[in-house]
Structure 1
Amino acid sequence: MNNYIIETNQLSKDFSGELAVNQLSIHIRKNEIYGFLGPNGAGKSTAMKMLLGLLQPTKGSIKLFGKNFDSNQLALLSNVGSLIEEPSYYANLTGYENLEIIQKLLKLPKRNIDEVLKIVKLYEQKDKLVKNYSLGMKQRLGIALAIVKFPKLLILDEPTNGLDPAGIQEIRELIKSLPQRYDMTVIISSHILSEIEQMATTVGIINKGKLLFEGYLADLEEDEKYLFETSDDTIAKRLLLSKGFILDKEEVIINDQNKANIAAAIRLLVKNDIAIYQVRMIRKSLEDVFLDMTGREGGIL
């Protein structure tokens, strides 16, 4: 039996002939922080809304906690908290009063209110009207509203949008604490690579509705390669290929991390009177790998 909290199979959403989500199959395990990464308009919010029953899929299926979503929707959603796009709150009520409404509607213990206010560091401002909250405080209140029932699954859509660096760091540290301290699984969307890189344990990369990659960010890091600049690249390539070296592209680039093999390549070229002007290690950054994958117009930072 698998340990997936979320599992989708060929999930698709068609809006008037345009596929916002196209055959999306994702797998999220218990207590993961799953980074849902892609450019603006990639389909992240649409996918999240389908996971919450806010949109009906055109095709495909969803399982939450190992159970079919369609036939158990209300029961399953009782264990899910969410913050989609931006927090919903009553601006003329205090932070405490906003949480009290949810607490009463869901018949939760009253102690949950104080507990989540402390978790999101709003306890000292609980009696302040929300219209007087800063943007960061409103985002933290949105997360408090999402976790006041201490759900098993938390779905957050771009929770750091519009925040200053200090606010981003606060939200980031809060999210990172949730799986271990409160036994929550978190799925968090973003178009900012550096944010996901600092929070997520695994990632799903989506663009134009399609899943391009799912796994660990480290799996995307490109291996080391060595670029040789020589007096005669054509002969250098022929010599290296004849000795079994694996070359890359049109330049003299050896795709090998073993430094002893690089030293052997240098000796081979020198022995055959090929002058070596430079040997330089090259490797694409994680950002370059993402931009190549999603299209450089995509807007991932």
Structure 2
Amino acid sequence: MSTFPTTLVHCLSERTEEQKWLVDQLWTVGAVGIIGGEPKCCKSFLALSLAIAVSSGVPCLGRYKVHKQGRVVIYAAEDAPHIVKGRLEGLSKKNNLNLDSLDIHAITVPSIRLDREEDQLKLKRTIEKLRPQLLILDPFVRLHRIDENASGEVAFILASLREIQRTYQTAIIIVHHSKKGATGRAGQGLRGSSEFHAWGDVNLYLRRDKNDQLLLSIEHRDAKSQTGIPLQITEENGSIVLSVSDENIFLKSIEKESINKKIEQLFEADDTIISFSDLRARVGARATNVSATLKEMVEQGILERVTGGYQRATN
């Protein structure tokens, strides 16, 4: 009877920091994951921005360097081919590129059903033939007829995509919806089974704050995560263009992320109650910044205000 191959752990291959990234800070090489958010949060445009970046080598969102340029395959289940082409042409012109020079392939069948083994096999053969650096499937809800709340049914589809990723070292992005009005951690707000959140090596979340500012959060399994990165939305050449807002706002978002992470660490014990003055001293940041972060975490359902200070939300 045959056995599985093994190797000593110290003999396993390593990657340098540069080899690790497909797009610096945004997506790691060969990672699977989700672009999630409520409707009208530009999820598809973020996916197309990544497609342009990976296929051309230009920085994604005007900031994030591409470390491994290569072919991209897209399946846009909700948009007609001329719409996808128009959006990509607009993004190409914004970056002073010609679309016909980019190695982006679109799957053109009317529908794909990843809950059927026949379509799983067709997708696998497509990736085997084209060997892309990146596969984008948008959106997940149009790729099946399963119950998204049934973990076993969802896991069956996600496992087939993981097999493709591991076999061909292809990064895979699924565009997926969040529940409307979801609070708490972004990953927990994804619609359907918790399998989605658990599956992702990288997850990107888009949301709008109370001032309608579009914010990007980046969640990594194997790298530093970031939250609250403000994005600027412009319309050029008939296409929505996303970019990170100016440097000062960007740097403030990094500071905010650090405060957020420190506060979360302080509340690792569910029954911990910490006063504001103690929080400020232990976080080591200005009172206004700590107060603003606490307010946002309460609004998101992560923390709650109680007598004596704050504690992790119990709901």
TM superposition score category, shorter chain reference = 0.3 to 0.5
Name the TM-score, length of structure 2 as normaliser: 0.42
Could you say which structure has the greater relative contact order, defined with CA pairs below 8 angstroms and 6 or more residues apart? 1
Larger Rg: 1
Name the TM-score, length of structure 1 as normaliser: 0.44
